[in-house]
């Protein structure tokens, strides 16, 4: 089974800082099927990035995704107050194919 | 504007069946090439995909839940539903319905509904 690992578990930063979140897959991600979600307390997740690097509708350009193979990164160039949240990576694939989510990275205020 | 709304009992007894419905507005669940999905989140934990129903009616489930899950649809009322049998406390979670436009990510989510399994 494919496993996604996210690092760090918690990232403590200040508004205006740059945030770099990592996601590793135990096997190579096929067809660029790697996405990122943001979740705030009491809310549903929100799709940020799909296909490794494509921003979803309405997502500000301070969010960017990159990577290939088994190593992926979500970067928030300058943290806004509303960006403090939990971030999950998600992969589609495997045998049999399905959705796998990473355990999440919490970005909180330093 | 497409919206999804979960509904169903908030409390289910152990060994019984959990049943939830997702009402979709602004789009037809039987057209458009979309997948309609269920995801859950145990309290304070991460996300777990349950399964989806394609616009054609075909379904696919997480291997870990496959033996207990059914996803069906009501095209007349534009709803799709989740049934999870033989529940236990570990099935206590917020259950989300969602839409997969590209099939491989979830671009639209309902607000979620908490289901507690307890006697």
pLDDT band at B84 (very low <50, low <70, confident <90, very high): very high
Q: Do B105 and A57 touch (CB under 8 A)?
A: no
Q: CB-based contact (8 Å) between B102 and chain A? A: yes
pLDDT band at B90; cut points 50, 70, 90:
very high
Interchain proximity A98–B63, CB inside 8 Å: yes
CA–CA separation, A46 and A27 (whole Å):
25
Q: Kindly tell me the sign of the dihedral angle through the C-alpha atoms of B68, B102, A52, A107.
A: negative
Computed over every residue of chain B, the mean pLDDT equals 95
Tokens 């060994």 correspond to B15
Decide if A104 and B60 are in contact by the 8 Å CB cutoff.
Answer: no
- The answer to whether the beta carbons of residues B75 and B30 sit under 8 Å apart is yes
Q: Which residues of B touch A103 (CB under 8 A)?
A: 46
> What's the rounded Cα separation, in Å, for the pair A7 and A71?
11
| CB half-sphere exposure, A42, CA atoms < 13 A | 0
pLDDT in tens, B55-83: 999 999 999 999 999 999 999 999 999 99
Residues on chain B touching A51 (C-beta within 8 angstroms): 102, 105
Q: Is A45 on the interface with B (CB under 8 A)?
A: yes
Confidence of residue B96 (pLDDT cuts 50, 70, 90): very high
Helix or strand (DSSP H, E) at A91? strand A86-93
Q: Tell me: the pLDDT tens digits for B32-57? A: 789 999 999 999 899 999 999 999 99
pLDDT reported for residue A72: 98
* Calpha distance B84→B91 (Å, rounded): 9
Which chain A residues are Cβ-neighbours of B65 within 8 angstroms? none
Whether the Cβ atoms of residue B92 and residue B42 lie closer than 8 Å to each other = yes
The pLDDT score that the predictor gives to residue B89 is: 97
Categorize the per-residue pLDDT at B102 as very low, low, confident or very high, splitting at 50, 70 and 90: confident
Token pair 């033989």 is found at B86
CA–CA dist A38, A86 (Å, integer): 6
Tokens of B67: 């033996």
The pLDDT of residue B31 is 84
Specify whether the CB–CB gap between B92 and B43 falls below 8 A: yes
Digitized pLDDT (tens) for each residue of chain A, 110 residues in all:
789 999 999 999 999 999 999 999 999 998 899 999 999 999 999 999 999 999 999 999 999 999 999 999 999 999 999 999 999 999 998 777 789 999 999 999 99
Chosen from A54, A99, A101 to mutate, greatest number of chain B CBs within 10 A: A99
């Amino acid at each position: 089974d494919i496993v996604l690992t996210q690092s760090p578990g918690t990232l403590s930063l200040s508004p205006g800082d740059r945030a770099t979140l990592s996601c590793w897959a135990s096997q190579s991600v096929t067809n660029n099927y790697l996405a990122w979600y943001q979740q705030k307390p009491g809310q549903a997740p929100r799709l940020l990035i799909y296909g490794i690097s494509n921003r979803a509708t309405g997502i500000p350009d301070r969010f960017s995704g990159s990577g290939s193979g088994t190593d992926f990164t979500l970067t928030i160039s300058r943290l806004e107050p509303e960006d403090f949240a939990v971030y999950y990576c998600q992969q589609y694939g495997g045998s049999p194919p399905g959705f796998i989510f990473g355990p999440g990275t919490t970005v909180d205020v330093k | 504007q497409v919206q999804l709304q979960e509904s169903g009992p908030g409390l289910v007894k152990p060994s019984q069946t959990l049943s939830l419905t997702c009402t979709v507005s602004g789009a037809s669940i039987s057209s458009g090439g979309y997948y309609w999905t269920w995801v859950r989140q145990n309290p304070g934990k991460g996300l777990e995909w349950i399964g989806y129903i394609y616009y054609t009616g075909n379904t696919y489930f997480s291997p870990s839940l496959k033996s207990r899950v059914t996803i069906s649809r009501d095209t007349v009322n534009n709803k799709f539903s989740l049934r999870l049998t033989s529940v236990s406390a570990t099935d206590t979670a917020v259950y989300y319905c969602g839409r997969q436009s590209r099939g491989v990510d979830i671009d639209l989510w309902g607000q979620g509904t908490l289901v507690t399994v307890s006697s």
